[in-house]
Amino acid sequence: MSLNTVRHNYKVSKSNREEHHGHRSFLIWFTGLSGSGKSTLANLVEIELHKKGISTYSLDGDNIRQGINKDLSFAPEDRTENIRRIAEIANLMVDAGVVTMAAFVSPYIKDRENIKTIVGAENFIEIYVNTSIEECERRDVKGLYKKARAGEIKNMTGISAPYEAPISPDIEIKTDHQSIDESVKKILDFIIKKLK
């Protein structure tokens, strides 16, 4: 942190912005293996919230890595920095009064704990999209598992890099055993109560 900066406090607060939007704001963090369904679920949840007039925004791993985080690799230290930057962006979005969805593999428990520190535990909902590696490989929507098995991708979570599952997520979605509609309903039922 620069020693020559001083935080400026503006007169319009998060609570003012939440009042303007007509609902609370918080971060909904979808974590799970590549191909687990994180982005699909985040997108469908956002559609339903948008229909209800909720101000939303979605942050997605692939999209972010094509822009603000395009300088980062998939090495462990860069994965940590990737998640830290996303948490800081999400914190700004939540402060703006927007319900923010974030769909990121985010394989390390310590990084997800750091997100809570940045945005505040009261503003953080962790959704573990628990899909077996076998199902993720069967889907392989981006062809990443095939490349990882062929040795073309290094540090592939679930193959050559670890995934540390959440110990007590707010919501666990088992996409091997739940339909998309059931999963979205489970998430919405949890979120709607928190909007008030």
Q: Is 22 annotated as a binding residue?
A: no
Q: Is 33 annotated as a binding residue?
A: yes
Q: Does residue 106 carry a catalytic annotation?
A: yes
Residues 174, 184, 195, CA angle at the centre, nearest 5°? 120
Residues 6+ apart with CB under 8 A from 83: 104, 106, 108, 111, 112, 114, 115
Does residue 94 sit in helix, strand or coil? helix
Say what the alpha-carbon torsion angle 36, 26, 79, 113 is, to the nearest 10 degrees. Answer: -100
Q: What one-character DSSP code corresponds to residue 143?
A: S
- The amino acid occupying position 110 is K
If we measure between CA atoms, which residue out of 167, 77, 157 comes closest to residue 128?
A: 167
Which one is catalytic: 25, 55, 58, 106?
A: 106
Q: Is 36 annotated as a binding residue?
A: yes
Q: Is 67 annotated as a binding residue?
A: no
Annotated binding site for ATP: 32-39
The residues assigned a catalytic role are 106
